[in-house]
Every structure is written in structure tokens, then in C-alpha cells.
Amino acid sequence: MNKILVTGACGQIGSELVVHLGREFGRENVIATDIEKPSQHLKTASTFMYLNVLDPHMIAKIVVDYEIDAIFHMAAILSARGERDPQAAYEVNMQGLVNVLEVARRKKVDKVITPSSIAAFGPDAPKENTPDNTALNPTTMYGVTKVAGEKMLQYYYLKYGVDTRSLRYPGIISAETAPGGGTTDFAVDLYIHAVTREPYACFISENTPLPFMYMPDAIKAILQLAHAEPGRLSRRVYNVNAMRLTPAEIVASIRKYIPGFRCTYQPDFRQAIADSWPHSIDDRGAREDWGWKPDFDLDAMTRDMLEKIRGKFTIL
Ligand code: SER
């Protein structure tokens, strides 16, 4: 891994991943791409270019021009937005991935790393400690594209020898770039409203458990997986777990630091999506194969989140 292409670089995970990659591999060796306008931060950390993942020729051109040997494919439409426009979710998530894999195959890119999600599971999977191998019957288009994407990664690995790697992320909580269009976005909203002293109406009911992970752990996980020796990987796609949290538990943690924070619960169509997902996932495979272990628990995350968001809003 020397010359890296990142798609979806302006997104919640992409924007922080690029900063880490830029630090490790050098700004000139990280080609960050998106259809959005990049932040100054992103431009400082990487070489930024406009790229729509639905344009296979542009992907190929960048791969050839910059001698790319690894692709972090992060561009995707998340679950809630995907239910509002399932065709767009199918196109961006499925065709985007196929385009990336095809370029990887034809231009001999060594490695493709792309996230999957807890959304790959559906209501018939075990709710607690959901294993790596179990029923994959998602009820969202986002989940459908994640399951099909996982199968595509496996196919390109077996048939063409592309070193494809993926991890099933839980909901990701972060302070840097707001998530957009996800069912787990409420968790980030809770922190932002607490800091800006605004009451929050949470669109997921208070006792709904979901798996979550703090961004530094999400970045650690994807980089560890990307760097793992090929011989250590017994599968292409790994569950990664960190915390099992309900909205009420996150609110209680925030109130330790901001006692006056007010939150009400007004579940909407996203409740059914949350109800179809696991509460916690079993990540023994990742722990055993490449040493995965999260660093942050709920209160450590809350302290860090509040500090970072305060910094952004310059509230003392
Ligand atoms: N965080 C994502 C979502 O809510 C799940 O992968 O859609």
C-alpha cells in the first residue's frame, strides 16, 4: 500500500480517514475524491479531486495516472436516505462498488477496502452478539446493497485475486463531519444539541439498543484491517463491535457533564429500520485474526465528543 485512492472522502468516515492516511503515507500519495466540495482540512491532508463513483472511466484514469495500489471505497448512501430513494441507493452503492472492483481487476490494484454495516443483518438474525456467519436478510435497500457488496468482494477475491477487505461497522459517532442520511445519526445529534443547549427530539425510542463505535476506533479498525498480513485473514468481511447503547444511555452519559440537557422521543420511520438491526455483534473473528480491540467506552467517548464539539462551536 503506497498510493491510495479514497472515494467518499468528504463523508463522515472518509474525512477523518484521509487525515490519518495523509499523515502515514504523505499528502501526495493520498488521492481523496468526492462529488462534494472538500474542507480546507481535507485539502491540506491529501490531493483532492472531483470523482463520481458512477463514472468508471474517471476511476480508471485516476488509478492509472497516480499508480494507485489501494482503494478505500467509502462513497455510499446510508439507510434512511436509501429508504427515501431506494433506486439512488442501489445505483450509488451497488454500481459504485462494481465500478471500483472492475477498475481494481483491470488495472491491477492490489487492495480494495470498503465498509459493510450492521445493516447487512435483518430481523431474523440473532439480536445479541450476532455472529459473522448468520442469516443476512436486510429489510432496507442500504442493507441489500451491503449484503450484495459483501458477496461481490468475496467473488472478486476468489475469482480474480483482488485483495478485498471489509468490516461491518456499527453506528459511528463522531464530532468532525456530521453523518447524513443514516438511522444512527441521532447519536451525533444528541451531542451537538447538548453542547448548543438546544432540546432534542430523538427519532429513535429511548430504549432501542444499537451497536455503536466512536470514530477513533472506527479509523483504527479500518487501518488495522488494511494493514493485516493477508495470511491472517480467514474471511473477507468482519464484524467489529464496540458499545451496545440505547438513546437513553447516551443521554444519561451526556447529562453527567451537561445536567440540563433536554431530550424527548418522537420515533419516525427510522424506528423500524433500527428495530430490524442487531443490538450487539460478535467480533471474535476480528479480535482473533487481526487483533481488533476498541479503546473507547461510553463515558470516555462522551467526554471527548463534548470537548471536540465545544471546540467547533467555540462555546466555553
Ligand atoms: N450508520 C448507518 C446508518 O445508520 C449504518 O451503517 O445507516
Give pLDDT tens digits for 19-65: 999 999 999 999 999 999 999 999 999 999 999 999 999 999 999 99
Q: Ligand 1 centre from 273 Cα, in Å?
A: 10
Binned at pLDDT 50, 70 and 90, residue 315 comes out as low
Whether the CA torsion 188, 173, 17, 76 is positive or negative: it is negative
Point out the residues that are catalytic.
142
Ligand 1 pocket, mutate which of 117, 121, 215, 281 (most atoms under 8 A from CB): 117
Does domain 4-172+212-239 match CATH 3.40.50.720?
Answer: yes
> Ligand 1: which residue has its CA nearest to atom 3?
182
Helix, strand or coil, per DSSP, at residue 81? helix
Which ligand 1 atom is the nearest neighbour of the CA of 115? 6
Cβ contacts of residue 250 below 8 Å, gap of 6+?
A: 187, 190, 298, 302
pLDDT digits (tens, 9 = 90+) for 261-310: 999 999 999 999 999 999 999 999 999 999 999 999 999 999 999 999 99
Alpha helices in the chain (DSSP H): 12-25, 40-45, 56-65, 79-84, 86-90, 96-106, 141-160, 186-195, 215-227, 247-255, 270-275, 284-290, 298-313
In 10 A of CB 129, how many CB atoms?
15
Return the axis-axis angle of helices 56-65 and 96-106, rounded to nearest 10°. Answer: 40
Tell me whether residue 49 is exposed, middle or buried, using C-beta atoms within 10 angstroms of its C-beta: 0 to 12, 13 to 18, 19 or more.
Answer: middle
Binned at pLDDT 50, 70 and 90, residue 312 comes out as confident
Tell me whether residue 57 is exposed, middle or buried, using C-beta atoms within 10 angstroms of its C-beta: 0 to 12, 13 to 18, 19 or more.
Answer: exposed
Say which amino acid occupies 10. C
Q: Does ligand 1 come within 6 angstroms of the Cβ of 117?
A: yes
Which ligand 1 atom is the nearest neighbour of the CA of 118? 6
Q: Ligand 1 centre from 169 Cα, in Å?
A: 8
Residue spans of the domains in the chain: they are 4-172+212-239, 175-211+243-278+296-312
Q: Ligand 1 centre from 186 Cα, in Å?
A: 11
Topology (CATH level 3) of domain 175-211+243-278+296-312: UDP-galactose 4-epimerase; domain 1 (3.90.25)
Which ligand 1 atom is the nearest neighbour of the CA of 169? 6
Average pLDDT of the chain to the nearest whole number: 97
Q: Ligand 1 centre from 212 Cα, in Å?
A: 10
